[in-house]
Structure 1
Amino acid sequence: MSNFAKVRPVGYRKGRAAIGEDPTRRYPIYAIKGGAPTLLEQRDEVARLLADENYDGDIAELLQRADQITAQIEQANQRQARLRALQGAVPPGDPQPGDQRQQPGMGPDDRGNPDPVSAAEAFVRSKALEHFRTSGKRGQFSVEYRAAPTGTVTTTTQPQQNTRLPGIIPNNPDFPLLVASLLDRQTSDGSTLEYMRDTSGPQSSWNKAAVVAEGGDKPKSGPFTFDLITTTTKTVAHWVPITRQTADDNSQLMGYINGRLTYGLEYKMDREILTGNGTTEMQGILTTPGIGSYQPGVGSTDVKLITVRKAKTQGELALYPPTAVVLNPMDWQDIELDEDDNGQFRVIANVTDPGAPMRLWGLTVVTTVAMAAGTALLGGFRTGATLWERQGITILMTDSHADYFTANTLVILAERRANVAVHTPQAFVKITFAAATS
């Protein structure tokens, strides 16, 4: 029997009969000649015939065929649904789909993104930690987490180039919680940094721009002076011992990384950015030559609130508008609790919302014990300095330390490499508050 003879007709049509044939005979209509039509092809053909107002075939049989095709399609859909349900079924006690995503550090961030949002999450999600736990091998491994933009990948076949920083940095203030977040942050490709430090002084001393009459000579601004500063990235690191059982628990492991190691690096970074000596340590802003200073005059009764406002004016007069002020928590307490003669707080603080952004005279306020009490740092931080990171926060873990292996104890270490380029010292003002009077 030919393939054509095997195909079931989807309808009939009238035609001219051959000699000797019954003239009332109807001829079958096939969707595809030469092969059996699929369910979709049969459905489309029957639908076309049902929609054809001129169709003069057997309507009852066409309707019956439509019902049969509908039933066959529904049966095929039910079969696929049962197959998917069977494949997704898991016996009790076996790992359920998605369980790993609900473990600490495995879930998405608050925006639904699957990428890690902290050094601890990057570490517990890493293939290196998974291999360390399952392989039973001794040794050390590391996982790097970098919040700053990724730098250029270099190869050992090319000599390492020093990174020279641009001299003009755009001013783009944000609302951070740490001193490091106040700065412009970039990635360094090498360990040596070279940048130009502007030592020209206040803009008012060299800016000679003026209105010029037609045909007149244009004024020349200057003089400009720059120093080429060459420095190196500095490594900040520390480690803690943990038990092997703790290392197998994602919650405890993340607690150690976030609560101790990462916090310790951030705290030290704040101190280095403010007071680093620039030689054996990172370059601190307060130790950079050329920054401005403000201190109330002898006998002044200005409270700290007023002192910050006058220092802001000094920064604005230097044509480097301040964006933030860094205070010791004790000095910020004095400012928030300062009262007028009627016992009313001068600073209107929302005490019911401690998470609200701290602002003073339009400036972002950052409090840190890294700033000495009685002083403050005010400035245009993103205009004046850049934090260059050679290596983001890197977490290392090993069982190969002294006699820790036999004690079932591991070492987990966190480190980062960075330095600060203070390229525009005039953008900063160091504040020294007046001594309290009784």
Structure 2
Amino acid sequence: MPPKAPTLTEQRDAIIAQLRDPDFDGDLDDLDQRAEEIEKKIEAANRRDARLRALSASSLPAGDPQPTPEQRIQPGMQPDSQGREHPVTAAEAFIRSKALESFRASGAIGKFSVEHRDAPTGTVTSTNGIPTVPQRVPGIIPQNPDYPLLIANLLDRQTSTGNTLEYVRDTSGPVEGSGTWNKAAVVPEGTMKPQSGPFSWDTITTSLKTVAHWVPITRQAVDDDGQMMGYINGRLTYGLEFQMDRQILTGNGTTQMQGILTTPGIGAYQPVSGSTDSKLITLRKAKTQGELALYPPDAVVLNPLDWQDIELDQDGIGQFRIITDVTAGPAALRVWGLQVVTSVAMAAGTALLGGYRTGATLWERQGITILMSDSHADLFLANTFVILAERRANIAVHTPRAFVKVTFAAAP
């Protein structure tokens, strides 16, 4: 049996004894180096011990739910070969799921699904069943690095726990100006204080809407991770996101999601008849209108053709009025301090400017769910599978005055 290696304590004591020995005739430089190494190891051990004791004594706040063993590991959330615990896309969740692994191994007929939630999780608080306006935290707007910035990512995003969405919509008039609800004033001592109001609210009741589509895929492609990820990320997932952007803008609010442009009470700006204002100037004046409503705009959605006109706008000597870094990505697009999002979902000749995070919330019931089956119609006989992607969500436009619909002047 090999001799047991000396402990840190034994090594320390041996070095101390040598340092105290007046007759020590060894290499002093080597002794100093070994002493320094032991000192560092002991400091590291002390830090590790202190961290262990602090972690053992710590506890979660009262009421903080503890995950069950089933919640700790969900399909599609197993660590990958690089040790990453949570996949970052729906395709990764699907490819890394135990369900797909079992499906491939057995080759059995049937179907299975994997859900990937990229919406922020949280508790939905309510008053009489009506969700309260959630706290909004400033930060970097998340985006898929492979695609342009989406309109949905401009909004406050929250998780819903039910199928019915109820919220209150502020229909009060503007704060500034005469005849409004704000009666705040300087009051002489001993006199009556003015009462502000009336406040006006509408209770909106709607349901979460399902956005879905599917594509056929061959059995050979099912066995190829690269093709599967291409189908899920490149076609299915982005197709859902693109349709959701359309719904956010123009959904009718009944059979579809609630669109901001179809919500009553949003602001509107259009140059007066005969105006020669360029689109660049029109946006700046519309921004002022939003600021006067006390909801400073933070972004604007434009049709690509209108953004092209703005970027290519030149002064009298041929210089571009907008200085753009042509090597930067979509997230770098800005005008008048506003984040610019271009989308063909926005009709040419119009734009939507607003305080997106303060004016509306995207409530999502589930993340993107991917389902695969070989039992659809006669596809089993053709050795073909179906991959279906769906998600459920809706928009709560609780502060319409935070948005301004812009209509550009017709070209001369």
Matched, 1:166 2:135: no
After superposition, the C-alpha distances for 1:216-253 in whole angstroms (9 at most, x for unaligned) are 33222111010000000000000000011111111110
What amino acid does structure 2 have at the position aligned with 1:286?
L
- Picking from 100, 104, 116, the partner of 1:129 is 100
Matched, 1:120 2:95: no
Taking the aligned partners of 1:113 and 1:396, their CA distance within structure 2 comes to 23
What amino acid does structure 2 have at the position aligned with 1:295?
Q
TM-score by structure 2 length?
Answer: 0.77
Taking the aligned partners of 2:360 and 2:408, their CA distance within structure 1 comes to 24
State the shift of 1:106 in Å.
Answer: 4.6
Taking the aligned partners of 1:49 and 1:211, their CA distance within structure 2 comes to 78
- Whether the 8 Å CA contact 2:331–2:339 is kept in 1: the answer is no
- Picking from 98, 101, 112, the partner of 1:141 is 112
What SS does the corresponding residue of 1:210 show, helix, strand or coil?
Answer: coil
Other-structure match for 2:314: 339
Pair 233,162 (structure 1): closer, same or farther in 2 beyond 3 Å: farther
The equivalences for 1:54-93 within 5 A come to none
State the shift of 1:431 in Å.
Answer: 0.4
Pair 251,106 (structure 1): closer, same or farther in 2 beyond 3 Å: farther
- Whether the 8 Å CA contact 1:350–1:356 is kept in 2: the answer is no
Other-structure match for 1:270: 245
State the shift of 1:165 in Å.
Answer: 2.0
After superposition, the C-alpha distances for 1:287-314 in whole angstroms (9 at most, x for unaligned) are 0000000000000000100000000000
Segment of structure 1 superposing worse, 188-197 or 219-228: 219-228
| Unmatched runs of 5 consecutive residues or more in structure 2 | 25-78, 144-148
Matched, 1:232 2:232: no
After superposition, the C-alpha distances for 1:352-378 in whole angstroms (9 at most, x for unaligned) are 334561000000000000000000000
State the shift of 1:172 in Å.
Answer: 3.5
- Whether the 8 Å CA contact 1:121–1:254 is kept in 2: the answer is yes
Other-structure match for 2:324: 349
State the shift of 1:54 in Å.
Answer: 8.9
Pair 312,265 (structure 1): closer, same or farther in 2 beyond 3 Å: same
After superposition, the C-alpha distances for 1:345-401 in whole angstroms (9 at most, x for unaligned) are 111111233456100000000000000000000000111100000011110111111
State the shift of 1:151 in Å.
Answer: 5.4
What SS does the corresponding residue of 1:394 show, helix, strand or coil?
Answer: strand
Segment of structure 1 superposing worse, 263-272 or 141-150: 141-150
Matched, 1:199 2:171: yes
Other-structure match for 2:358: 383
State the shift of 1:402 in Å.
Answer: 1.6
What SS does the corresponding residue of 2:365 show, helix, strand or coil?
Answer: strand
Other-structure match for 2:291: 316
Pair 107,199 (structure 1): closer, same or farther in 2 beyond 3 Å: farther
Taking the aligned partners of 1:237 and 1:429, their CA distance within structure 2 comes to 30
After superposition, the C-alpha distances for 1:138-181 in whole angstroms (9 at most, x for unaligned) are 1111111111123569xxxxxxx996221475474754511000
Taking the aligned partners of 1:385 and 1:49, their CA distance within structure 2 comes to 69
The equivalences for 1:203-282 within 5 A come to 203-204=175-176, 205-282=180-257
TM-score by structure 1 length?
Answer: 0.73
- Picking from 387, 390, 400, the partner of 1:415 is 390
Taking the aligned partners of 2:197 and 2:129, their CA distance within structure 1 comes to 27
Segment of structure 1 superposing worse, 324-333 or 207-216: 207-216
After superposition, the C-alpha distances for 1:174-210 in whole angstroms (9 at most, x for unaligned) are 5451100011000000000110001012122222222
Other-structure match for 1:392: 367
- Picking from 173, 176, 189, the partner of 2:161 is 189
What amino acid does structure 1 have at the position aligned with 2:113?
S
What SS does the corresponding residue of 2:202 show, helix, strand or coil?
Answer: strand
After superposition, the C-alpha distances for 1:252-303 in whole angstroms (9 at most, x for unaligned) are 1000001100110011000000000000000000000000000000000001
- Whether the 8 Å CA contact 2:360–2:397 is kept in 1: the answer is yes
Taking the aligned partners of 2:118 and 2:195, their CA distance within structure 1 comes to 43
- Whether the 8 Å CA contact 2:113–2:370 is kept in 1: the answer is yes
Segment of structure 1 superposing worse, 345-354 or 247-256: 345-354
Taking the aligned partners of 1:127 and 1:401, their CA distance within structure 2 comes to 22
In the comparison of the two structures, how many residue pairs are matched? 344
Taking the aligned partners of 1:163 and 1:366, their CA distance within structure 2 comes to 34
- Whether the 8 Å CA contact 1:118–1:145 is kept in 2: the answer is yes
